[in-house]
Amino acid sequence: MKNTALTEKHIALGAKMVPFAGYNMPVTYEGINVEHATVRNGVGVFDVSHMGEFILKGENALDLIQRVTSNDASKLYDGKVQYSCLPNQDGGIVDDLLVYKIDDKTYMLVVNASNIEKDWNWIQQFNTQGVEMHNISDQTSLLAIQGPKAADALQSLTDVDLASMEYYTFVKGTFAGIENVVISATGYTGAGGFEIYFENQYADQIWDAIFEAGAPYNIQPIGLGARDTLRLEMGFCLYGNDIDDTTSPIEAGLGWITKFSKSFTNSEALLAQKEAGIQKKLVGFEMIDRGIPRHDYQIADAEGNIIGKVTSGTQAPSLQKAIGMGYISKEFTKEGTEVFILIRNTPIKAKVVKFPFYK
């Protein structure tokens, strides 16, 4: 089990620690509902240092990224971030990731913790033109400071004008007295905020500075439990739940990051799938009757025929109702369609709704 540079901080703060993607991670401090509300309404700090970071450098870095990712990275400018995925050769997804353009010859890829080695090996096999690849995951810490008060809480720590940063852009600057910190206007909560990348050796200093600067805004540490409820309220996919090696980006509603203006892994087959029409689709649903949908629960129609399965589900703290996501046969995916979630073999009524759940 790996620790992040901040594991001792979490334990000292009384976090409940759990194994996650090979790391010892804080799942909750005060309680998921309290932490969820803190991020939606104020500001909270997630340690997401388990995520993976790769640096790709050289004349052919963009070419390599274009061949392995589904989105069009040629549209990026210096300081711009892009959400994308790595398609496999069988119609599924190796991983979803963020692509950061540092300059014309330098990019950073941010990948899921559980897929670091898998993604590295996948990209490496396409690296036929000598792109310099560096896996900096183990040397890099990442904090996500999320919520509507994030810019105000952090502003005293940097001369970067945080409030004016556009969504999905980043800058390298001085933060909490440390130079060369990546400050990114990204996140996985739908509540706004920033993600801060820096070397492990500065983790304690930066963590302490954030909590000191954020104290007037009642900044709080937040665990992975609330990260999951926050992302689910937005309808954001979680790799391993909602997307995986067997789910197509077209079925997953990720057509917007699948650009057929270029050639990439399995692009011809995915284009054919898009043109032929998909047989199932990832949709959101909210429960009408009482019950909480969970991963892998079956979904049925009114006659009891199995039409799909749940990929993620929870009692949504901001909405005070149970919600979920799942793949359903295409004829049942229209907004408002009633479906039934089989909870302990009992059909519990739900209806299909549009993403995001939290408006």
| Contact call for residues 195 and 187 (beta carbons, < 8 A) | yes
Mean pLDDT of the 282-295 span? 98
How high is the pLDDT of residue 18?
97
DSSP H or E stretch at residue 65? helix 61-68
Contacts of 358 (CB under 8 A, 6+ apart): 190, 233, 234, 316, 318, 319
CA distance readout (Å), 227 to 214, 230, 244, 258: 19, 5, 19, 26
Report the top-level CATH class of 1-278. alpha beta
Say whether pTM exceeds 0.85.
yes
> What gap in Å lies between CA 322 and CA 341, rounded to an integer?
12
Mean pLDDT of the 236-244 span? 97
Neighbours of 118 (CB within 10 A): 16
Report the top-level CATH class of 279-358. mainly beta
Task: Share the mean pLDDT of the chain.
Answer: 98
Mean pLDDT of the 316-332 span? 98
195 is in an annotated binding site: yes
How high is the pLDDT of residue 214?
98
Mean pLDDT of the 66-93 span? 98
How high is the pLDDT of residue 5?
98
Mean pLDDT of the 16-40 span? 97
How high is the pLDDT of residue 316?
98
DSSP, collapsed to helix, strand or coil, labels residue 247 as: coil
Diameter of the chain by CA atoms? 63
Domain coordinates of the chain in residue numbers?
1-278, 279-358
How high is the pLDDT of residue 344?
94
How high is the pLDDT of residue 281?
98
Over residues 127-164, the pLDDT tens digits come to 999 999 999 999 999 999 999 999 999 999 999 999 99
Give percent of the chain with pLDDT exceeding 90. 100
Q: Which of 176, 185, 173 lies closest to 154, judged by CA?
A: 176
| Contact call for residues 255 and 58 (beta carbons, < 8 A) | no
How high is the pLDDT of residue 234?
98
Per-residue pLDDT band at 233 (split at 50, 70, 90) = very high
Per-residue pLDDT band at 289 (split at 50, 70, 90) = very high
Pairing of strands 193-199, 140-146: antiparallel
Give percent of the chain with pLDDT exceeding 70. 100
Same fold, 1-278 and 279-358: no
